[in-house]
Amino acid sequence: MAKRKPLAFLEIEHEHAPMPDEKGQGETTLIKASKKYKHTSLYLPDGARKQLRELAYTEEVKQHDLILEAIDLLFKARGRKSIKELEE
């Protein structure tokens, strides 16, 4: 069974993609995730996971964006700094 890539790495395409190699396959570059962000896991009940997925699909956004929005609302409700304020 093939080993999965670590979650700490993101597969990206360069703005100026490198020329394909001799076999006609393009290069893929792995970079570490942004130093501003750290990985965390989230366990959800299956129904909540499906609903989050449906919302993301319907709104044409990433699940990640919806989770950040929810965390920002939690911070605001608790009188804490927003994610944007914490990034500065």
Where exactly are the structural domains of the chain? 44-88
Summarize pLDDT for 63-77 with one digit per residue, the tens.
999 999 999 999 999
Taking the C-alpha atoms of residue 79 and residue 88, their distance in angstroms, rounded to an integer, is: 18
Answering whether pTM is above 0.75, one says no
Taking the C-alpha atoms of residue 67 and residue 88, their distance in angstroms, rounded to an integer, is: 20
Taking the C-alpha atoms of residue 11 and residue 4, their distance in angstroms, rounded to an integer, is: 13
List of the chain residues with pLDDT < 50: 7-20, 27-31
Start-to-end CA span in the chain (Å): 43
Closest among 1, 68, 2 to 36, alpha carbons compared? 68
